[in-house]
């Protein structure tokens, strides 16, 4: 099954960003620390032009810390770009973002010269959570399902910085299906745009190759099976995902694996690394 998911309001968001961008001083792009490349929107690089950009690697508590360090180094080598790993719901971590804004645009954020930042990101990466944490109160809707934010808004942080919030963006044609499956495994793809079993098989194959010890520990496996399908079957049997006749309910087992991957119960997992064929 080819993964395709592009809610109609996202086309409107692209137009909104293009209209507002000339007035913006710095772009804050919220990415999923577990898959910074796949959770980036290719359109944004063209839309922001030479505007300074902060790559916020959110959900860093769920990602492999060594891989996250490699991503920070990778992004910091780009002109006008700084990367920072955070947990968006923690004020001490989120508070580093305004400081970076001031470093990248030192002539703004002073009396009479408001620093204007735009927060962008695909659905479910924590964009609204970051905005609410920075504002110190609920300004943007937050949920565990994609596509919560649907209209733009302006937020005054009362520290010389104004934030422009925008709806989530996702590339309309996810031509790189490996990236699409990584997004689906992370929870960024709507349920209607994916097949749980296929995505779980993709995730299981990756976990077996990169995080076999974490898998064995989580599911009490004496050895890792030879294939992703056998792994899901073993997980299903151990967790009681059974149907009539003692057969494995692959749908339930797949949902369980993805749910535990997304919540960090399998361990701190990164789904891609800099430099690999993504």
Dump pLDDT digits (tens) for 250-269: 999 999 999 999 999 999 99
Whether the pLDDT of residue 26 is over 50: the answer is yes
List the domains of the chain with CATH numbers. Answer: 9-165 (3.40.50.300), 195-263 (1.10.1580.10)
Q: What percent of the chain has pLDDT over 70?
A: 86
Using 50, 70 and 90 to split pLDDT, how confident is the model at 8? low
Whole-angstrom Cα Rg for the chain? 20
Whether the pLDDT of residue 190 is over 80: the answer is no
Using 50, 70 and 90 to split pLDDT, how confident is the model at 10? low
Using 50, 70 and 90 to split pLDDT, how confident is the model at 143? very low
pLDDT tens by residue, 155-164: 888 888 999 8
Question: Phi then psi for 136, rounded to 5 degrees?
Answer: 80, 10
Whether the pLDDT of residue 145 is over 50: the answer is no
Whole-number pLDDT of residue 118:
92
CA 120 to chain centre: 11
Residue 96 CA to residue 94 CA, distance in Å, equals: 5
Whether the pLDDT of residue 209 is over 50: the answer is yes
**What letter would DSSP give residue 62?**
T
| Overall average pLDDT of the 10-39 stretch | 88
For tokens 């960090």, the residue is 264
Q: What percent of the chain has pLDDT over 90?
A: 59
Residue 65 CA to residue 84 CA, distance in Å, equals: 12
Using 50, 70 and 90 to split pLDDT, how confident is the model at 169? low
Average pLDDT, the chain: 86
| Overall average pLDDT of the 108-112 stretch | 80
Name the burial class of residue 175, with classes exposed (0-12), middle (13-18) and buried (19+) by CB atoms within 10 angstroms of its CB: exposed
């Amino acid at each position: 099954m080819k993964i395709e998911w592009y809610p109609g309001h996202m086309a409107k968001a692209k137009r909104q960003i293009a209209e507002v961008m000339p007035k913006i001083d710095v772009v804050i792009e919220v990415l999923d620390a577990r898959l910074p490349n796949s959770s980036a929107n290719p359109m944004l690089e063209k839309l922001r032009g030479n505007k300074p950009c902060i790559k916020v690697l959110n959900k860093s508590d769920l990602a492999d810390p060594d891989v996250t360090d490699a991503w920070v180094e990778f992004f910091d080598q780009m002109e006008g770009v700084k990367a920072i790993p955070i947990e968006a719901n923690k004020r001490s971590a989120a508070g580093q973002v305004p400081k970076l804004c001031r470093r990248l645009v030192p002539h703004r954020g002073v009396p009479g010269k408001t620093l204007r930042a735009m927060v962008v990101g695909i659905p479910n990466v924590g964009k609204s959570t970051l905005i609410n944490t920075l504002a110190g109160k609920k300004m943007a809707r937050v949920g565990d399902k994609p596509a919560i934010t649907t209209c733009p808004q302006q937020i005054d942080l009362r520290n010389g910085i104004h934030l422009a919030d925008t709806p989530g963006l996702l590339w309309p044609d996810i031509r790189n299906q490996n990236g699409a499956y990584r997004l689906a495994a992370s929870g960024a793809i709507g349920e209607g745009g994916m097949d749980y079993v296929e995505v779980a098989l993709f995730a299981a194959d990756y976990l077996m190759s990169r995080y076999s010890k974490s898998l064995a520990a989580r599911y009490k496996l004496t050895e890792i099976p030879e294939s992703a399908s056998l792994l899901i079957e073993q997980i299903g049997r151990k967790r009681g995902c059974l149907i009539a006749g003692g057969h494995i309910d692959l749908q339930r087992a797949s949902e369980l694996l993805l749910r535990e991957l997304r919540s960090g119960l399998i361990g701190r997992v990164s789904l891609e690394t800099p430099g690999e064929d993504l």
